[in-house]
């Protein structure tokens, strides 16, 4: 369920017509619905009932500060994977005590920032990171709370670029070495091992891989306790998939059941890191038709959004539903068209979809389920500026990321003096 619905034949975000936003801002732009974000969070958290896990929103899915703040208001924590995301979470009002820092390549400065902020825990992904973190904590005179991220060697059966829990993946400490790594951390004065962590991938649509990974983690927790070591928490990561089409996915309730069956009565605080399942269907990418090109083998609908705005179809072969903002006339037979952008790449495509046969230049389209891994992966390829992000609540909308202009981009690229060019010759202003 989302809150992008047709009202009298016009697509609206909650109570705001998409056309109204397009008239005010131009296209393309991202639009997010607060009602969908809030609804998804409540459904996910409610699925766990009295278990009451700490839900740390995975900031990498959509790092807009307004989106994070919307979730922080509901009590969400944050899972961050960089110093920049840590700053965003704190700026959005997430308490440091509800922030988990994951990621395989933390720098010393990022570790120091996390410790100074007083975050809940740092998920350590290698034995060498234990040493690095201990050195940073020692210099600061602090004790670093750590969880050992385990690589369980479980195939999430998702896209190979977003699977993270197999032995050949770069993430986590290999299963056979994780128990010893936890014990070693307990011997280092500057570290306090508080738990275990796991994350097997993104867009996982079956319960089996989750159950296998969580059962392995629970078994290791029991072993460590038998060794006399305290395991206070289990961070189960995120990765719950969402529907982009008609493919079956797990519901939050089914996911919660998988957690319960794998962990049994193990007395640990649970940490969960949902991202896509919270914001995925809460956003659309709105774009305008530039032309309809009749090719020999197919019809192309050329739009003003491109792969630099939404990379998922190019990067993962992802499929997004694409719908007209003005509903098609009753009885109109859809025509298959490939929706493509203006970037000079054949990969600049959003897919082949059915669209109204009367589609023409100037018409608006909405690329659905674009709230996760859309704006955060955007770039300025082909010197295309970053596009706005808009947040809608009820009958109101606000720009939560302004459109970057080409002049803004040029202003950040000073010329070296030996080129002998003046800025005016480059910017034309």
Choosing from 31, 56, 268, 344, which is the catalytic residue? 344
Distance spanning both ends of the chain, measured CA to CA: 48
* Strand-pair partners of 283: 32
C-alpha–C-alpha distance, residues 380 and 297, integer Å: 31
Residue 125 and residue 144: Cα distance in Å, rounded?
14
On the question of a cis peptide bond just before residue 129, with omega within 30 degrees of 0, the verdict is no
| 344 catalytic per annotation | yes
Q: What does the alpha-carbon distance between residue 234 and residue 53 come to, in Å, rounded to a whole number?
A: 10
Residue 97 CA to residue 213 CA, distance in Å, equals 26
Task: Report whether 112 contacts 136 (CB < 8 A).
Answer: yes
**Whole-number Å distance between alpha carbons of 29 and 387:** 6
Supply the DSSP symbol for 236: -
**Two tokens, residue 150:** 């385990």
Beta bridge partners of 415: none
Distance (Å, whole) CA 406 – CA 10? 32
Q: Which two tokens stand for residue 27?
A: 């296209």
Q: Do the Cβ atoms of 190 and 144 come closer than 8 Å?
A: yes
- Alpha carbon distance 23, 10 (integer Å): 14
Sequence length of the chain is: 429
Full strand arrangement of the beta sheet holding 4-7: 4-7, 10-13, 16-17
Active site residues: 344
């Amino acid at each position: 369920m989302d809150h992008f619905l047709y009202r009298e034949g016009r697509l609206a975000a909650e109570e705001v017509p998409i056309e109204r936003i397009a008239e005010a801002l131009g296209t393309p732009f991202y639009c997010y619905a607060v009602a969908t974000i809030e609804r998804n969070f409540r459904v996910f958290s409610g699925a766990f009932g009295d278990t009451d896990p700490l839900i740390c929103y995975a900031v990498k899915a959509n790092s807009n500060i307004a989106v994070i703040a919307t979730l922080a208001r509901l009590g969400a924590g944050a899972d961050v994977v960089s110093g920049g995301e840590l700053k965003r979470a704190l700026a959005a009002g997430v308490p440091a005590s509800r922030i988990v820092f994951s990621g395989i390549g933390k720098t010393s400065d990022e570790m120091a920032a996390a410790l100074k902020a007083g975050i809940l825990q740092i998920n350590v992904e290698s034995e060498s990171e234990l040493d690095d973190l201990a050195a940073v904590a020692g210099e600061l005179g602090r004790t670093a709370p750590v969880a050992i991220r385990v690589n369980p060697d479980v195939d999430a059966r998702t896209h190979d670029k977003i699977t993270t829990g197999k032995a050949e993946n770069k993430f986590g400490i290999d299963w056979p070495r994780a128990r010893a790594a936890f014990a070693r951390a307990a011997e280092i004065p500057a570290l306090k091992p508080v738990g275990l962590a796991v994350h097997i991938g993104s867009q996982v649509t079956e319960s089996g891989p989750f159950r296998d990974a969580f059962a392995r983690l629970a078994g290791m927790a029991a072993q460590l306790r038998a060794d006399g070591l305290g395991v206070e928490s289990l961070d189960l990561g995120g990765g719950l998939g969402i529907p982009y089409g008609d493919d079956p996915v797990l519901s939050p309730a089914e996911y919660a059941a998988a957690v319960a069956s794998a962990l049994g009565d193990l007395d640990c605080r649970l940490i969960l890191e949902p991202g896509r399942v919270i914001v995925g269907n809460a956003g659309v990418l709105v774009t305008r038709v530039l032309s309809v090109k009749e090719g020999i083998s197919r019809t192309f609908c050329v739009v003003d959004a491109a792969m630099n705005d939404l990379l998922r179809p190019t990067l993962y072969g992802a499929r997004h539903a694409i719908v007209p903002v003005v509903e098609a006339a009753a009885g109109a037979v859809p025509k298959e068209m490939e929706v493509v952008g203006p970037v000079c790449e054949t990969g600049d495509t959003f897919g082949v979809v059915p669209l109204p046969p009367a589609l023409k230049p100037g018409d608006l389209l909405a690329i659905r389920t674009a709230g996760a891994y859309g704006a955060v992966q955007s770039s300025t390829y082909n010197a295309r500026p970053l596009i706005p992000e808009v947040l809608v609540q009820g009958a109101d909308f606000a720009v939560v990321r302004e459109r970057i202009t080409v002049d803004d981009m040029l202003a950040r690229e000073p010329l070296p003096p030996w080129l002998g060019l003046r800025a005016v010759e480059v910017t034309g202003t």
